[in-house]
Amino acid sequence: MTGDSNRGHTPEVLADAREAIVTGAAANSAGDQRYSNLPRILRYAMLARDNADHLEKRLAAEVADACPELAENIEWAANFDPFIGLQLAAELDRRAVTQAGKQGGRARYQGRPDLAQDQYR
């Protein structure tokens, strides 16, 4: 299942996903601000190293913010199944490549000029 839709999800799956996403968003808001200026991947590496609470839920909340109603994220957030996580990663990669193609072949850090490094200069 790929796409942006709640169709096909049971009310229980939707409720579990919604709860996980809300918990993750709250953890991100109340979390340690030491890493807030780091690129996302490095920030999550540091949080994992620190054994931060709700790491998967934080990630689900960020994905939900970037791609609302993404079917794979809803499924993954409901139970954090590794197989569904791989499907989610593949869909996010596909979207990143598609978006980069629309931007002339280079992905941009939108809203974060301090992180935008143009490797082609």
Per-residue pLDDT band for 5 (boundaries 50, 70, 90) equals low
Given this model, what pLDDT does residue 20 score? Answer: 93
Per cent of the chain over pLDDT 70 is: 78
How many residues does the structure list for the chain? 121
Reported as a single tens digit per residue, the pLDDT across 29-67 is 876 688 888 888 898 899 899 988 899 999 999 999 999
Residue whose C-alpha is closest to residue 28's, from 63, 46, 64, 55: 55
User: What's the predicted TM-score (pTM) here?
Assistant: 0.71
Mention every residue, 6+ apart, whose C-beta is less than 8 A from residue 17.
9, 60, 73, 74, 75, 77, 78
- pLDDT at residue 37, rounded to an integer: 87
Mean of per-residue pLDDT scores for the chain: 81
